[in-house]
Every structure is written in structure tokens, then in C-alpha cells.
């Protein structure tokens, strides 16, 4: 299942992130979830994640963890981790990040620049693709790649 949508402005992108958070967390904590966000620099990946985290109660700005590569959050009793792999030089660096510890039941891993991991992240539940659609809009495609991802898209 795949849905497509155009977000006009950053607020609509944040609103989509918020909807996604509600849809993904509507079920009791189960298997860890992986959401990948692909798209060029400035496509709006962090903006979407900001809306996602705010919906779960995070207060304050959300920036791409460009240098630390990951930023862990504990929201609504769940481990939510925001990764930005843009500056990762080699997929082996994933082993040092320690995010395996953040992949327990009910956890959600949101990854910008998943391509840098060269397949080492495992299969995504939801693969999001963001593209420029003019100066003030972004096209968004969300593809479900697992039953959990499919269920989330159906609830959006």
C-alpha cells in the first residue's frame, strides 16, 4: 500500500508527521518499528519528524542529529529515536551507535538518509519519500513494507 500527498508549507509537513505518530502508536507497544525518510537536502525530513515528536509530547526544537547521528527520546513510555546518517562514512559505524539498545518493544526508529546504511538497518515498516514540488511544497509518498506499516497507513 502506498499513499501520496502534497504538503504545502512546513506546517502541513509537521501536521503529516503528527498524523503519522498517532497512526503508528494507536496499537499497544509491539515489535520495534522502522520508518525511513528519503529525500534530498532540505526536502523536509526533519520537519516531518518534528511534527511526529511534538505530537507525542516533545517540547522544543528538533534538529537533525547530524554529528551525533542519533537523538533518543522517551515519549509516551516508548523509545523513539531520530537518526540522521548523512555524515556516516561507513555502515560499520552503525555498530557503534548503540541503537540496538533502543529497539525494544514499542520503539520507533526514524531514519533520515537510510541509504547511507546500505541495507544494514533491516527492512523498514514504512518508507517515506519526500521531494521538492515547487518552492513552497513537497511531495510525499509513504509506502508500507510490513503489516504494521500497512495498518498505520490505513489509520492515517
Ligand X SMILES: Nc1ncnc2c1ncn2[C@@H]1O[C@H](COP(=O)(O)OP(=O)(O)OP(=O)(O)O)[C@@H](O)[C@H]1O
* Cβ-contact 113, 85 below 8 angstroms: yes
Rounded Cα gap, residues 104 and 84, in angstroms: 20
Nearest distance, CB of residue 77 and ligand X, angstroms: 27
- Residue from 41, 77, 90, 92 in contact with ligand X (CB under 6 A): 41
138 makes contact with ligand X (CB under 6 A): yes
**Which of the ranges 17-25, 43-51, 72-80, 148-156 carries the binding residues for ligand X, by CB under 6 A?**
43-51
Which positions touch Mg ion (CB under 5 A)?
A: 45-46, 64, 112
44 binds, among ligand X, Mg ion, none (CB under 5 to 8 A by kind): ligand X
Of the candidates 103, 98, 101, 97, the one whose C-alpha atom is nearest the C-alpha of residue 85 is: 97
Rounded Cα gap, residues 87 and 36, in angstroms: 16
> Cα–Cα–Cα angle for 10, 16, 19, nearest 5°?
145
Rounded Cα gap, residues 125 and 97, in angstroms: 21
107 binds, among Mg ion, ligand X, none (CB under 5 to 8 A by kind): none
136 makes contact with ligand X (CB under 6 A): yes
- Residue from 17, 20, 32, 45 in contact with ligand X (CB under 6 A): 45
C-alpha cell belonging to residue 151: 495498518
Rounded Cα gap, residues 15 and 3, in angstroms: 16
Nearest distance, CB of residue 60 and Mg ion, angstroms: 16
Nearest distance, CB of residue 66 and ligand X, angstroms: 7
Binding site for ligand X (CB under 6 A): 7, 9-10, 12-13, 39, 41-47, 64, 84, 112, 136-138
Amino acid at each position: 500500500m502506498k499513499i501520496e500527498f502534497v504538503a504545502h508549507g512546513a506546517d502541513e509537513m509537521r501536521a503529516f508527521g503528527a498524523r503519522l505518530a498517532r497512526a503508528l502508536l494507536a496499537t499497544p507497544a509491539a515489535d520495534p518499528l522502522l520508518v525511513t525518510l528519503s529525500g534530498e537536502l532540505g526536502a523536509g525530513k526533519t520537519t516531518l519528524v518534528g511534527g511526529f515528536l511534538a505530537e507525542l509530547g516533545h517540547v522544543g526544537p528538533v534538529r537533525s542529529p547530524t554529528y551525533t547521528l542519533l537523538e533518543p527520546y522517551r515519549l509516551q513510555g516508548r523509545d523513539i529515536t531520530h537518526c540522521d546518517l548523512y555524515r556516516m562514512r561507513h555502515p560499520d559505524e552503525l555498530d557503534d551507535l548503540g541503537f540496538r539498545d533502543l529497539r525494544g518493544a514499542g520503539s520507533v526508529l526514524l531514519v533520515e538518509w537510510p541509504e547511507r546504511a546500505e541495507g544494514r538497518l533491516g527492512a523498514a515498516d514504512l518508507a517515506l519519500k519526500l521531494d521538492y514540488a515547487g518552492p513552497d511544497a513537497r511531495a510525499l509518498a509513504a509506502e508500507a513494507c510490513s503489516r504494521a506499516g500497512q495498518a498505520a497507513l490505513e489509520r492515517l
